[in-house]
Structure 1
Amino acid sequence: MPRARGVVAATTGFLGLSSTRRAAALALVVCALALTVAVPLRNYVAQRQELAAVSEQQQVLAAEVARLAQERARLSDPAEIEAQARSRLGYVMPGEVPYVVQLPVAPGPDQADAANAGVPWYRVLWREVAEGPQ
């Protein structure tokens, strides 16, 4: 019988386990390691993506700050303020004579609709009645 014991010992191998059980244990260890590494790796990748998005947003905001600083410097110039007041608000200096040139334009169908936008219907009707047929 000593021979039978040697055959069993030869097939069980390492730690008294068969090769199928050893493969299953190895697969279980590999899966456990994969799951142990997967969660921190996913967190790392997500944080890297978030860091890239925040860095891009910071660059956009820095460019906006630079643009606004340039505009503030431009608008702090009294000559620029005077030019803006003249062009936007139509201001003139004392002693100057302002001239406004208006070119006559025949309203087309799109312009007539744009002119009537926001005007109540009864005012449009009254204007058409008062002007008469054209």
Structure 2
Amino acid sequence: MKVLLVDDSRAMRMVLKTSLRKAGFSHLEVVEAENGQDAEEKLGNFEPDVILSDWNMPVMDGLQFLRAFRTRDQLTPFVFITTEQTQSKRREAVEAGANKVVGKPFTPEKLARELSEFLE
């Protein structure tokens, strides 16, 4: 299973990869991007089965990336892993095409519960 992991924080990408392994998702091929623009560029050579993205990033934020991505792909699951957790932000994400919003902070157990439908 191929995952595109989009977060401007290198440390958070490492934490997320480690937590995914601890959650039992050790079979993942992960490609990292540091913002939406970088993710768009990576999609030129990589077709993920799921996208895990932060919301707040410089250059192109997660919501801008999601909207651009959905203009060409309506099927690939897109999950925000973010501190943006208000009802209005969650609604905005879903209306733009997100499949789920997972709040930070997270534990491996929370990731297993929240992401199993997309990563198994």
Q: Indicate the structure whose relative CO is greater, using CA pairs within 8 Å and at least 6 residues apart.
A: 2
Category of TM-score, reference length = shorter chain: under 0.3
| TM-score normalised by the chain length of structure 2 | 0.15
| TM-score normalised by the chain length of structure 1 | 0.14
Decide which structure has greater helix share: 1
